[in-house]
Structure 1
């Protein structure tokens, strides 16, 4: 049974949910900040927007926010990301465009840097960062459409094109 570290009593189901507007950023502990810079800044093209804690944290932005990702130098040695399928971070994902051509260009650019794509679908592929975190690059699987609508992601090649549905409670 999972522990409930957020409360000492069962969660009230009648209480209103918090309204999250968007995911703000992801923070990773890393073994080597320079290797993370080469991957996230030089290979993926994220802008390095600053540092903190005497250079132990580096911030990266995809362009809209001050940072979408921060990498902090790990405080202790460790095994790295857990194996797929066990509790923990599975992957982070970055939107690289809206077309298969943009996805193919991203794939070629990363292969030219010696990275090996895996887990390919018609709309995405993944690579590993220097610490073994899975980083997915994708095109258009869930962009916000007009009037506060979110398109559903097709989960298989046989699935129909993405369809719009209203955001619940928005």
Structure 2
């Protein structure tokens, strides 16, 4: 199993996206620090099976489910990043970002940062979406990201998770 980290939006949103993907065995909400970005920022650690899903696909999903081309006032708390564990991962992630840039009309602001440390968020907020997907925040903020996942990356979605997402969409009127 391989491990990588992602930051970009709130950790509840990212955790739900990555927990929905086949081949991901664990996605945990955390606070990351990196030598080039020492201020803590929300993110997720992702443990995945490279035989089921590769790093480039995970990065593509990540870029597509948050505002990866936008600088905004909350970027310190919601840093757009791929958090790597070593220099080999850093090179691979950087190459993935370069290859994927052609899919986005604006420059990607996502950074590749080597993890200094991370602190796991409180256990009571882990698995936030799947513990109660009907919560207002889930419906308003997380489900729209999961719709993108279903629309653009359906082949990667775990069927059991897809059923939960679709059950939240059944009452939609748009």
Question: TM-score, normalising length from structure 1?
Answer: 0.29
Question: By percentage of residues, which structure has more helix?
Answer: 2
RCO comparison, higher one (Cα < 8 Å, 6+): 2
Larger Rg: 1
